[in-house]
Amino acid sequence: GLLLKAAEDLALDLKSSYLVGDSLSDVEAGRYVGCTTIMVRNDKKAGSVRNLLRDKTRPDYIVSDLSAAVDLILKLDSAER
């Protein structure tokens, strides 16, 4: 609900947006609204990454940290141009 509300209020195109998170619920939310999903590995939530291997809701990308997520987004955006 909150992502859809933000998209409506701010006129965001979620299909061309990225959702970066560190949990399976973040990935599920991003998938639900059509975002490209990037999961940041979190040692405290290591089980989440293992669960992704068995779950239907997989992120589009998994990165080691937030800096790597930023680098990936910049790379993906430059490839689209």
pLDDT in tens, 47-63: 656 665 566 778 999 99
Q: How confident is the model at residue 81 (pLDDT cuts 50, 70, 90)?
A: low
Residue spans per domain, the chain? 2-80
Report d(CA 48, CA 71) in Å as an integer: 23
Here the tokens at position 63 are 């990165």
Long-range contacts of 29-33 (CB under 8 A, 24+ apart): 29/3, 30/3, 30/59, 31/57, 32/3, 33/3, 33/4, 33/7
| Domain at 2-80, CATH class | alpha beta
Report d(CA 63, CA 42) in Å as an integer: 10
pTM of the entire structure? 0.82
- The residue with tokens 């959702």 is 19
